Amino acid sequence: QQPVQSPQAVILREGEDAVINCSSSKALYSVHWYRQKHGEAPVFLMILLKGGEQKGHEKISASFNEKKQQSSLYLTASQLSYSGTYFCGTERIQGAQKLVFGQGTRLTINP
């Protein structure tokens, strides 16, 4: 079952912060975050595992609330290079153990 991302799109000025949310109705084992720039393949940002800690990558970090089956991606002091579409991917604890992605959040950073 596909995770749900929100918002669908965000427009920021350079230097502003953003939060992208990802939620699932099923118990999750892991949450992945990827960024895709126009015309390119998705690129891995980070993975959060059940029982794991909050991850960070430059000024991009993420959290995983296992009880709520939610993850949030935090982008602080956004840079022009952060523009792209962000996808969360989830793997369930039980049942189908495959990586399924949300519909994506399009992030536009303006100067």
Partner 1 sequence: GAGVSQSPSNKVTEKGKDVELRCDPISGHTALYWYRQSLGQGLEFLIYFQGNSAPDKSGLPSDRFSAERTGGSVSTLTIQRTQQEDSAVYLCASSLVRDTEAFFGQGTRLTVV
Q: Nearest-CA neighbor of 60 among 86, 29, 90?
A: 86
44 lies in the site for partner 1, by CB under 8 A: yes
4 lies in the site for partner 1, by CB under 8 A: no
Q: Residue 82 corresponds to which tokens in the numbers above?
A: 């952060």
Of the two residues 94 and 96, which places its CB atom closer to partner 1 in the complex? Answer: 96
User: Helix (H, G, I), strand (E, B), or coil: what is residue 32?
Assistant: strand
User: Helix (H, G, I), strand (E, B), or coil: what is residue 82?
Assistant: helix
Of the two residues 95 and 111, which places its CB atom closer to partner 1 in the complex? Answer: 95
User: Helix (H, G, I), strand (E, B), or coil: what is residue 47?
Assistant: strand
Specify the DSSP element, H or E, that contains 72.
Answer: strand 70-75
Using CB under 8 A, which residues numbered 8 to 37 contact partner 1? 29-30, 32, 34
47 lies in the site for partner 1, by CB under 8 A: yes
Using CB under 8 A, list all residues that contact partner 1.
29-30, 32, 34, 40-44, 47, 49, 87, 89, 91, 96-104
